Amino acid sequence: PLPVGTTVQLKFYLPNRDAPLNSTGEVVWVKDLPAADGAAEAEDNRAEKAGMGIEFRGLNREGKEAINRLVRELKKGS
């Protein structure tokens, strides 16, 4: 994962949308994996996932509305 505070350029596609969404974002949290001390511990760590949270910074109104629609649709299906 990138360090907290890193600015990133985002380009992604949503279902049922032909044009990509473009935005900037900032890394706001990071989950690193602990260092493995041995083969057994390394095997256990494979189940965990490293990751990071990105906060959108430059998403236009159309992009925000498209994401909100997708979230509402996904909530209906759960």
**Is 14:64 a contact under the CB 8 Å cutoff?**
no
Q: What is the pLDDT of residues 3-50, one digit of tens each?
A: 999 999 999 999 988 999 999 999 999 998 877 665 555 555 566 788
Q: Where are the domains of the chain?
A: 7-77
* Half-sphere exposure (Cβ direction) of 8: Cα atoms closer than 13 Å: 18
Rg of the chain over all Cα atoms, to the nearest angstrom: 17
CA distance 28 to 52: 7
Confidence (pTM): 0.70
